[in-house]
Structure 1
Amino acid sequence: MDRLIALPGFLRRDYRGLALPLSLLLAWYVVTTFDLANSHILAPPQAVWLEGYKHLMTGSFFLDLVSSLSRDAAGLAAGGSAGLLLGLALGVSRWCERLIAPTFNALKQIAIFAWIPLISAWFGTGESAKVVFVALAAFFPMVINVFEGVRGVSRDYVEVARAFEFGPWQLLRKVILPAASPQILTGLQLALIYSWLATLGAEYFMKSSYGVGNSMIDGREHFNMGSVLFGVVVVGVIGAVIDRFSTRLERRLLRWRNHGS
């Protein structure tokens, strides 16, 4: 009987999260339709739609999107990997923590955009400078969360591993990494978010020929608010996709914890 009345999957999903975006879209449409705001500042939804269609048809959107995502991926890979290694080193070795942690704690207080003049002086304003900036944005949250995850591993686990005569590599692979994995994945999730934000910041402050941020800058310079708002929508959608991807990845990688409990 339950099978007969079971609803399809798409009907059983919770759609309450769409209430706020749809309400904002409706308010946007009402405000622009009844001229409650300056159309030169707040373009109507249909203008944004037409601008997006033009970008899609000319192919410029895909080129900008690929350029931005490639910068994001390169910076995330470099900064995330370096952050993982340093976080593990600080968490495992007290000697390493005493040597590096004071300097790291001072550097992490510097606002990420304050690094741009130094990065520009060392690497120029080309592609390498943008990747370094994105890597820096991913680096700090990764180090902090990996370090906290490793230091949060129960001493009981370590003592049991030593009783079984685990070597350093076995201790890291079979005890420390699994126990610290939730915090490590939190660091990865933050690194994904910050690297995407840094990608747009790099394109804004170190202007490039292609990129979603560059497309928004061009729209602003030509006072084409439809293009600017289309870029804002694209940035928001990609950010939501990244957040959704990281959440699903965390659930999948930590599924073993639920089975074991």
Structure 2
Amino acid sequence: MSQNPKTKISRCKEILLGLAFPVAVLLGWESLSRISVEYAYAFVPLSSIGDSFIELLTGGELVVHLAASLTTAIKGFAIGCASGFGIGFLMAFLRPLDLLLNPLLQALRQIPNLALIPLIGLWFGNTEFSKMLIVSLAVFEVMALNAYEGLHQADARLLEVARALKLSRWQTFRRIMVPAAMPSVSIGIQHAVAFAWLSTVGAELLFTVGPGISGVMERAQTGARMDLVIVCLVFIAGLGYAMQKLCRKASDRLLRWRNAAY
């Protein structure tokens, strides 16, 4: 079905408006880089950034370090998601466990995840496990609370019908509570993806063991290679954005049944 011409024009305007600010920033950046040597150090010419981008890609170093960072993020995300959803589920069904853990999780929610790095560093040292633990904890807190809150969003009328039909606890959970919890869990997963990536980058800056994109950035900063620092930041932002978009698309696809139902 073809789009209305007015809709196409409106869409083009939105795209152009979205590009206007980034283009203005790039033009301003390039202009500042040409003022003097001091400015050129802080605002590296775009041509130098492009050369560094090609240098990292062709050298193979960037791929190795990005793969290591993604591996840490994915493993931490998987562990945090599984354990967080499990604890959230148990808290929703076991009142004593809810009373025991909910205040602790709410308190931990107020602590920036990276603030735990000194404590974890003292306990486990400068290890890959420490990085993984930071990422897992960031994801765990989000998933546990979102799963818990989602499971409590089941319609009371549907639960009453389930009791009238004498459905088992498993049937009630699978047919009523899980569908009701899916929107909250979906939002939790989207947040968890962002937190996993942010925590990975932050943990790598402080736990320097092993490869990782943050290590490349730190060495570039030590060597006064501002161009490499910017290339790393672009990759970090680009990967984070891509993961968020993929997660949101997957979430929308999984929740199509809910949109159709309502």
Q: What letter is aligned with 2:161?
A: V
Residue 230 of structure 1 is matched in structure 2 by 231
**Deviation of 1:132 (Å):** 0.7
Residue 153 of structure 1 is matched in structure 2 by 154
Q: What letter is aligned with 2:43?
A: L
Q: Is the 8 Å Cα contact of residues 32 and 40 (structure 2) preserved in structure 1?
A: no
Q: May I ask how many residue pairs the two structures share in their alignment?
A: 258
**What is the alpha-carbon distance in structure 2 between the residues aligned to residue 244 and residue 77 of structure 1?**
18
**What is the alpha-carbon distance in structure 1 between the residues aligned to residue 232 and residue 86 of structure 2?**
35
Deviates more, 1:186-195 or 1:45-54: 45-54
Q: What letter is aligned with 1:183?
A: S
Q: Is the 8 Å Cα contact of residues 77 and 139 (structure 2) preserved in structure 1?
A: yes
Deviates more, 1:236-245 or 1:155-164: 155-164
**What is the alpha-carbon distance in structure 2 between the residues aligned to residue 24 and residue 89 of structure 1?**
49
Aligned-partner SS, 1:110? coil
**Deviation of 1:249 (Å):** 1.2
**What is the alpha-carbon distance in structure 2 between the residues aligned to residue 3 and residue 67 of structure 1?**
45
Q: What letter is aligned with 1:85?
A: G
Q: What letter is aligned with 1:74?
A: K
**What is the alpha-carbon distance in structure 1 between the residues aligned to residue 142 and residue 38 of structure 2?**
40
**Deviation of 1:99 (Å):** 2.2
Q: Is the 8 Å Cα contact of residues 68 and 211 (structure 1) preserved in structure 2?
A: yes
**Deviation of 1:3 (Å):** 5.9
CA gap of 1:93–1:20, structure 2 versus 1, over 3 A, is farther
**What is the alpha-carbon distance in structure 2 between the residues aligned to residue 88 and residue 221 of structure 1?**
46
Give 5+ residue unaligned stretches, structure 1.
Answer: none
Q: Is the 8 Å Cα contact of residues 34 and 40 (structure 2) preserved in structure 1?
A: no
**What is the alpha-carbon distance in structure 1 between the residues aligned to residue 20 and residue 209 of structure 2?**
37
Q: What letter is aligned with 1:196?
A: W
**Deviation of 1:109 (Å):** 2.5
Q: For 1:187-218, what per-residue CA distance to the aligned partner results, in whole angstroms no more than 9, with x for missing partners?
A: 10010001100000111010134111111001
Q: What letter is aligned with 2:230?
A: L
Q: Is the 8 Å Cα contact of residues 52 and 227 (structure 1) preserved in structure 2?
A: yes
Q: Is the 8 Å Cα contact of residues 147 and 181 (structure 2) preserved in structure 1?
A: yes
Q: Do structure 1's residue 83 and structure 2's residue 109 form an aligned pair?
A: no
Residue 196 of structure 1 is matched in structure 2 by 197
Deviates more, 1:211-220 or 1:31-40: 31-40
Q: Do structure 1's residue 213 and structure 2's residue 214 form an aligned pair?
A: yes
Pairs within 5 Å for 1:1-261 = 15=15, 16-35=17-36, 38-261=39-262
Q: For 1:137-182, what per-residue CA distance to the aligned partner results, in whole angstroms no more than 9, with x for missing partners?
A: 1111112212221122221121112222221111111111111111
Aligned-partner SS, 1:52? helix
Deviates more, 1:126-135 or 1:62-71: 126-135
Q: What letter is aligned with 2:159?
A: V
**Deviation of 1:123 (Å):** 2.2
Aligned-partner SS, 2:41? coil
Aligned-partner SS, 1:170? helix
**What is the alpha-carbon distance in structure 2 between the residues aligned to residue 4 and residue 152 of structure 1?**
39
Q: What letter is aligned with 2:153?
A: G
